[in-house]
Structure 1
Amino acid sequence: MIIPISELEADTLHSIAESFVLREGTDYGEIEASFADKVEQVIAQLKAGEVVLVYSELHETIDIKPKDALLADDSH
């Protein structure tokens, strides 16, 4: 289930983004970004609709997934 970010408090959204960055260890290319920059980039992607918050009822977890990947999964 996709969770609209508009339904979350700013602090909650920030905490979810922080958790995602810590968990993913995302590669940002040759220029290493600070933790705060990575979090802000994730939040910006969420606000732009490039990625979405997905709640797994089975695992009772929240994850951040690329919107395109989710649409591709739904087409099968």
Structure 2
Amino acid sequence: MDPETLDNLIESFVLREGTDYGEHERSLADKVADVKQQLKRGEAVLVWSELHETVNIMPRALFNG
């Protein structure tokens, strides 16, 4: 996957899923970097939904496909 496409997908995911309730709010760039590292370590996976024609990011432990 093109690196820019991956960055855009991760950013979209973070904006859709990420709400900070911690003591210190983290920047979008930090959250994107965290998700990218989770993907590299295999802790998260990209999941394509043929039905909805969308890509999502899921924790590997929750993915049943």
TM value normalised by structure 2: 0.88
Q: Which runs of 5+ in 2 are unaligned?
A: none
1:34 paired residue number? 27
Aligned-pair identity (%): 58
Number of aligned positions between the proteins: 65
Bigger relative contact order (CA 8 A; separation at least 6): 1
What is the aligned-residue RMSD (CA, Å)?
Answer: 1.5
1:53 paired residue number? 46
Q: Aligned-pair distance for 1:52?
A: 0.2
Q: Are 2:15 and 1:22 aligned?
A: yes
TM value normalised by structure 1: 0.77
Deviations along 1:11-47, whole A, 9 cap, x unmatched?
1110110000011124463221101111111111111
Q: Aligned-pair distance for 1:49?
A: 0.6
